Structure 1
Amino acid sequence: MADLSSPHTFDQFESLAHELLQVEMQRMERGDLSRAAVGILRNRLDAHVMPFFRDIRPSEVDVAVMEAFVERLTEAGFSTTTMSQYLVVVRKLLRLAVRHKLLREVPEMPKVRVVHRPRAMLTLADYVAVVRAAHRLVRQRTQAPQVKQQGRVRERFWVAPRHLTLPPDMAWAIRFMVNSFIRPGDLRHLKHKHVQVCRGEHLYLRLTLPETKRHDATMVTLRPAVQVYEAALEQARAQGLGGPDDYVFLPGERDRVYALAVLGFWFKWVMREAGVATQDTWGRPRTLYCLRHTAIMFRLLYGQGIDMLTLARNARTSVQMIERFYASALDGEMNVAMLQSRRAIR
């Protein structure tokens, strides 16, 4: 076993990477970092950081080495956002090198201009079309075609046979996400104990979901989500489920990673059946995540007088994220009626 007390031991990226993972694991145990974030760090170390830096001593790293690393990432076809995230990992390793006096300071990092691309979304017509297509596939009990989109037959179809016929869960999930702002990861973990139906001046669901991305605020849905939830609950109770610890969507699937994958597969199938492209005009893929983007965009487009702070807090994000990834996709024609409106003359 290597002697970690020796300064020569730390003049290896293997040792620095091991130390960095230990530090981040401790942050995770304190609740400062999610398990998923640690997993992403480990994946980035294994995928490109260590293959490039393994035979380079940290004490030898300079601007030229960093530029060569960025060139490797560029050749791999990464976006500038992904490249900047890799540079964050390398910067953490080099800070440890400075701490161990292997470097006097962290070398200057190459400039990578991050271009923030708005998320893909559905138009109102697209949304109506996919919901109708999902309901139609349920009524017709149509089986999913066991072919890839390019037309090649799969040798082994990964979706279990019981999920080749669409249940109501898909239409429910689409409507629920667009009327609740939740992420697909939240949908996967949503249990009945996280949902409270609120009836009063307004009808809505109060969602008290586990913390995601350092946000733990209660979320409030729009009225249509109530009808979706009550329909899902009625079906679950008919199946002997619907208890506080049972899942709302695909409650019979205990493997929740698989459950979310099935919902993603169904969503692409439904879009194709609805005649909705699985990519938008700019080539951005429409996945389940685009339903969250659609929910936020619909409020920006059709909500009356909603302010960004209220929307951001309810969607468990920040005003900066709303402006960067959502509001940046708005153009004048989307709200031409508002632009052409006039104040009432008193």
Structure 2
Amino acid sequence: METATQEQQPPAKDGTIERYELMGGKCYIYKRSNDSKHWQVAAYVSGRNHRASTKLEGFSAAKQFAEEWYLELRGKHIRGELGKLVPVNAEKTFKDAAEQFLREFPVLTEGQRSPIYTAGHQRRLRNYLVPFFGDKPLSQVTSGAIAEYRIDRIEKSKEKRGKPPARGTVHQEMVALRQTLKTAMRHDWLASLPDMSQPYRSNGKISHRAWFSPTEYRQLYLAAAKRADDPKKERYRYHGQELYDFIIFMANTGLRPDEAKRLEYRDVTVVKDRETDERILEIEVRGKRGVGYCKSMPSAVMPFFRLRKRNKAQPTDRIFPNDQHVLFNNILEEENLKFDREGQRRTAYSLRHTYICLRLMEGADIYQVAKNCRTSVEMIEKFYASHIKNQLSAAAINVKRVPRNEENKVAPQSPPPPKPAAPKNRLRPTGKNYTRRKPH
């Protein structure tokens, strides 16, 4: 066994009993105080300490091993194979990022985001995301870890409820996760966002929004009118009348349900339109896009008058103060209209979709419909106009092309039309040789 030629040093503060610097102090070898026979090597490279065991007892052999190990470590650092690593005990965890996000989000979005939306993110983080990712360092929240979360979420939901969570539910949880990781990036706790897309996902078909065809819409409002005139119980008469007016009003204005809920009588003005010479409603709409304007169909005027007279309303009263979804769903189920042919569920929002589709079927300008509904032409073309047969022009589709052999043929020249005969001169001829005949 080889022995060290250097003078033995007292035990260091880190528990070593022998420690010798090599490569000009850039690395060193040492023995631990637990009577280990093997030499250890350590160096500080790329922002952190690296350690390894030489598994050698001789000093000279351990020294040669340490020098080669250090040079290899430096080469990896130069090639960028090590990167700048942060010690695990100094790295922030997902729980730290979640707490920072929950502290910032309500304050920075006050007045811009609904309190219900903010509370939803808080609930998703505390109930699902933090229990799963909790103590993991942020660098370990990778695409694979997110895929594991999706699997765990589906399996636990099936065990508890017998079915997986809805697609929208998981999507909102991914939104909360992304916002939390973005918060970590703003504070330099995370270098970049992982890939959060759902693996193995196929391209879903674009399906149109649930709506009522003209036949189905007529069936719906006739059923509502019958319920208003002949309720099952007399105390439900007012609610039946209000629902009937709600259906007619919504299908002739194209308002969103939340916009109709905020609507007050002072926001609606009855005017006579100059272009159509009909009475319509001009509505100041307050919704998710701020304040907008809407011009209704003439059929929306009478429901508005009935609502105002029935409720003896003040200007600041709401037009639809009561929630209509229970009675509305009952009528849909009774009339077998709850689901459309594609299996999509119909709600009060379907009345807005019905308005847009009926306007397009009547040939209305798509840009004007989009402005009146406070949406974009792109959204209408994607979710509404794609299934409206009236948007297709048969004359533009059924074009017949002339065959090439007939294109090159020269049309036969027809004979020139005969010249018209010269008109007879009806004037009496004159001349010296002219003698007038005597009448018979």
Instruction: Give 1:265's aligned residue.
Output: 326
Distance 1:21 1:222, change over 3 A: farther
1:62-100 residue CA offsets vs partner (Å, 9 max, x unmatched): 121011123345555345555444323212211222233
Deviation at 1:46, TM superposition (A): 4.1
Aligned-partner residue type, residue 335 of structure 1: N
Deviation at 1:17, TM superposition (A): 2.5
Give the strand-richer structure, 1 or 2: 2
Asked if 1:339 is matched to 2:426, the reply is: no
Deviation at 1:200, TM superposition (A): 3.6
1:122-141 residue CA offsets vs partner (Å, 9 max, x unmatched): 11111111111111112222
Aligned-partner residue type, residue 348 of structure 2: L
Aligned-partner residue type, residue 325 of structure 2: G
Deviation at 1:19, TM superposition (A): 2.5
Task: Provide the C-alpha distance between the structure 2 equivalents of 1:22 and 1:313, rounded to a whole number of angstroms.
Answer: 38
1:232-263 residue CA offsets vs partner (Å, 9 max, x unmatched): 111122xxxx101112124xxxxxxxx32xx1
Find runs of 4+ consecutive structure 1 residues off by over 6 angstroms: 7-10
Q: How does 1:237-256 map to 2 (within 5 A)?
A: 237=312, 242-250=313-321
Task: Provide the C-alpha distance between the structure 1 equivalents of 2:329 and 2:285, rounded to a whole number of angstroms.
Answer: 26
Further displaced range: 19-28 or 201-210:
19-28
Percent of pairs with identical residues: 26
5+ residue gaps, structure 1: 1-6, 144-160, 251-258
Task: Provide the C-alpha distance between the structure 2 equivalents of 1:281 and 1:46, rounded to a whole number of angstroms.
Answer: 39
Task: Provide the C-alpha distance between the structure 1 equivalents of 2:394 and 2:149, rounded to a whole number of angstroms.
Answer: 51
Asked if 1:315 is matched to 2:373, the reply is: yes
Distance 1:214 1:52, change over 3 A: farther
Deviation at 1:230, TM superposition (A): 0.9
Do the aligned partners of 2:248 and 2:300 also contact (CA within 8 Å) in 1?
yes
Which of 69, 82, 97 is the equivalent residue of 1:16?
A: 97
Deviation at 1:325, TM superposition (A): 2.5
Aligned-partner residue type, residue 309 of structure 2: E
Instruction: Give 1:195's aligned residue.
Output: 268
Task: Provide the C-alpha distance between the structure 1 equivalents of 2:152 and 2:361, rounded to a whole number of angstroms.
Answer: 41
- Aligned to 2:305, the other structure's residue is in SS state helix
Which of 139, 158, 181 is the equivalent residue of 2:229?
A: 139
Deviation at 1:229, TM superposition (A): 0.4
Which of 360, 379, 382 is the equivalent residue of 1:324?
A: 382
Do the aligned partners of 1:137 and 1:166 also contact (CA within 8 Å) in 2?
no
- Aligned to 1:208, the other structure's residue is in SS state strand
Do the aligned partners of 2:231 and 2:237 also contact (CA within 8 Å) in 1?
no
- Aligned to 1:209, the other structure's residue is in SS state strand
1:249-292 residue CA offsets vs partner (Å, 9 max, x unmatched): 24xxxxxxxx32xx11111122234x232111222111111111
- Aligned to 2:384, the other structure's residue is in SS state helix
Instruction: Give 2:292's aligned residue.
Output: 217
Task: Provide the C-alpha distance between the structure 2 equivalents of 1:172 and 1:205, rounded to a whole number of angstroms.
Answer: 14
Task: Provide the C-alpha distance between the structure 1 equivalents of 2:293 and 2:311, rounded to a whole number of angstroms.
Answer: 24
- Aligned to 1:216, the other structure's residue is in SS state strand
Instruction: Give 1:306's aligned residue.
Output: 365
Do the aligned partners of 1:278 and 1:286 also contact (CA within 8 Å) in 2?
yes
Task: Provide the C-alpha distance between the structure 2 equivalents of 1:233 and 1:312, rounded to a whole number of angstroms.
Answer: 28
Instruction: Give 2:128's aligned residue.
Output: 48
1:36-62 residue CA offsets vs partner (Å, 9 max, x unmatched): 432343343345333432343323211
Task: Provide the C-alpha distance between the structure 1 equivalents of 2:258 and 2:339, rounded to a whole number of angstroms.
Answer: 21
Higher relative contact order (CA 8 A, sep 6+): 1
- Aligned to 1:206, the other structure's residue is in SS state strand
Instruction: Give 2:284's aligned residue.
Output: 208
Deviation at 1:176, TM superposition (A): 0.7
Task: Provide the C-alpha distance between the structure 2 equivalents of 1:228 and 1:19, rounded to a whole number of angstroms.
Answer: 50
Distance 1:245 1:46, change over 3 A: farther
Task: Provide the C-alpha distance between the structure 1 equivalents of 2:245 and 2:308, rounded to a whole number of angstroms.
Answer: 11
Give the helix-richer structure, 1 or 2: 1
Distance 1:73 1:28, change over 3 A: same
* Structure of greater Rg: 2
TM-score (structure 2 length as normaliser): 0.60
Deviation at 1:175, TM superposition (A): 0.8
Do the aligned partners of 2:95 and 2:135 also contact (CA within 8 Å) in 1?
no
Root mean square deviation, CA, Å: 2.9
Deviation at 1:177, TM superposition (A): 0.7
Q: How does 1:68-87 map to 2 (within 5 A)?
A: 68-73=148-153, 75=155, 76=157, 77-78=164-165, 80=167, 82-87=169-174
Task: Provide the C-alpha distance between the structure 2 equivalents of 1:326 and 1:47, rounded to a whole number of angstroms.
Answer: 37
Aligned-partner residue type, residue 339 of structure 1: S
- Aligned to 1:17, the other structure's residue is in SS state helix
Deviation at 1:13, TM superposition (A): 3.2
Distance 1:317 1:36, change over 3 A: farther
Instruction: Give 2:31's aligned residue.
Output: none
Distance 1:340 1:194, change over 3 A: same
Distance 1:220 1:38, change over 3 A: farther
Which of 343, 349, 356 is the equivalent residue of 1:289?
A: 349
